Chains A and B, each alone.
Chain A
């Protein structure tokens, strides 16, 4: 089946530092990748949609200068949380999809970010 990995699985950083999270599709080419954020005991909130080779589309209320997304290849997307603050602590999950008509998204295992 389709496998999506994320790295790192967890990260602890100091306030003000930047953190990069990688999302890889291991056995398929992901034309579209999605980044979600999930706070404890809450649902997934879509942050942005990225298509390979083009700029990401951010959801309303998500700061594009703070959450930098790069989708440089069909198997890799990165999310960089710049100048992280404690309120950015959350579970970040990516998903990947191939094609435009096949709607199933394959989800990564998530990255737990804790900002001290």
Chain B
């Protein structure tokens, strides 16, 4: 069964707006990762946040992690049409362990 649940399942915004996606999980984790997948393609690793971190930035991406609520959010600022893709969170119970993926959020950025 999937560890992660993401919401919303689908999100449609206009170019320039910010996009926020959320991920919740059930068990303890060592780290949580976010990936992007363009339609019919493989996954691109975006960012990894460890359980002792609360926030991490990478370019236009901001990831937060709240281990007390077992949730994470991915914020994409100043979105572009090229950001249109599916976004997945994935959790690892321990460092080096298998990843368990969430259901994903389909983001559409309209030009």
Contacts and interface: CB of A to CB of B under 8 A. Distances in A.
Interface of A: 4, 6, 34, 41-46, 49, 91, 93, 95, 97, 99-110, 112
A105 B48 CA distance: 11
A4 B44 CA distance: 11
A103 B45 CA distance: 11
B40 interface: yes
Contacts of A102: 96
A107 to B, nearest CB: 4
Contact of A49 (B98, B102, B103, B106): B98
| Chain B interface size, under 10 / 10 to 19 / 20 to 34 / 35 or more | 20 to 34
Nearest to A49: B98
Nearest to B4: A43
Contact of A46 (B30, B42, B100): B100
Contact of B95 (A34, A101, A106): A101
Most chain B beta-carbon neighbours within 10 Å: one of A41, A97, A101: A41
B42 A105 contact: no
Nearest to A109: B42
B41 A109 contact: yes
A43 B99 contact: no
